Amino acid sequence: MQATYARQGSNHAKWEKKRVKEGLCVKCPKPLSELSGRFCEEHRIWHNEKSKRHYRDNKTICNQRTKISGHRARVRVMVALGGLFCTWCGEDDYRVLTIDHVKGHTTPVKGRTRSRRGLTFQDLYNIENGRSQLADFRVLCANCQSRHEHIRGKRKIYPEIAEAVRAAGGSIPLENELPIPQKPMPPRHSNRTSSC
Ligand SMILES: [Zn+2]
Ligand SMILES: [Zn+2]
């Protein structure tokens, strides 16, 4: 099957870039469509149909690829944030690590501001290409993120609930009891040897 995208950095990709800069379709001599950054109107429709068909016929592999490249971006962002461990407790099991918005993540949806947990892959790409500030994020484990939601008041334990928990022998710290470490802690189980 003919590739639709030129490999990044290849001569063909450079040629495409130049062509788009001149306002011309990368498939024919016609001008670019207003709705596309690469094609004329006919080729835009052709490419859309082709992509849809390809996705329909290769759903599993397409979804897998999206997931893999998204997680690669997630790992790169975590590394840029200081490492793959919780900055509060040092937990380093990737399965429970989250990228937390320091001030609480909000995304405008249809004119409203709706808070949302977890970052989408698009959010990650936005951090990578500088559209979102790296300093607004940090790595937390799911437990510490949940605690932080309580500390910043997004989730609430009513005194009656706390009472019931304590009466049953459970533990529940007072609000804001968890100290916020100033410096990221090292990972708990480091099996890394010297870097070379
Ligand atoms: Zn064209
Ligand atoms: Zn933690």
Q: pLDDT digit string (tens) for 127-184?
A: 988 888 899 999 999 999 888 888 877 788 888 888 899 999 998 876 555 445 545 5
Predicted local confidence at residue 105, as pLDDT = 62
Q: Kindly report the pTM of this predicted structure.
A: 0.67
Q: What pLDDT shows up at residue 22? A: 94
**Ligand (nearest to CA of 19):** 1
Q: How far is the CA of 90 from the centre of ligand 2 (A)?
A: 6
Q: Give residue 88 CA to ligand 2 midpoint distance, Å.
A: 5
82: left (phi over 0), alpha (psi -120 to 50) or beta: left
Q: Return the pLDDT at 195.
A: 44
Ordered by start, the domain boundaries in the chain are 11-57, 66-167
Res 148: pLDDT: 86
Tell me phi and psi for residue 139, to 5 degrees. Answer: -95, 125
pLDDT at residue 103 in the model: 78
* Contacts of residue 23, Cβ cutoff 8 Å, sequence gap at least 6: 31, 32
Quick one: which ligand is closest to 180's CA? 2
129 Cα: distance to centroid of ligand 1 (angstroms): 29
Q: Would you write out the chain's pLDDT as a tens digit for each of its 196 residues?
A: 445 677 778 889 999 999 999 999 999 999 999 999 999 999 999 999 999 999 999 999 999 999 999 999 999 999 999 999 999 999 999 999 999 988 776 555 455 444 555 688 888 888 988 888 899 999 999 999 888 888 877 788 888 888 899 999 998 876 555 445 545 555 555 554 444 4
Identify the residue whose tokens are 């949806």. 109
Are residues 32 and 21 in contact, defined by beta-carbon separation less than 8 angstroms?
A: no
Q: Ligand 2 center to residue 156 CA distance, Å?
A: 19
pLDDT recorded at residue 1 = 44
Could you tell me whether strands 106-109 and 112-115 are parallel, antiparallel, or unpaired per DSSP bridges? antiparallel
Q: Is 56 helix (H, G, I), strand (E, B) or coil?
A: helix
Q: Which residue has the tokens 């599993």?
A: 60
pLDDT of residue 155: 81
Other Cβ atoms within 10 Å of 185 Cβ, number: 13
Q: Quote the ligand 1 centre to 52 CA distance (angstroms).
A: 18
> Which pLDDT score is estimated for 184?
52
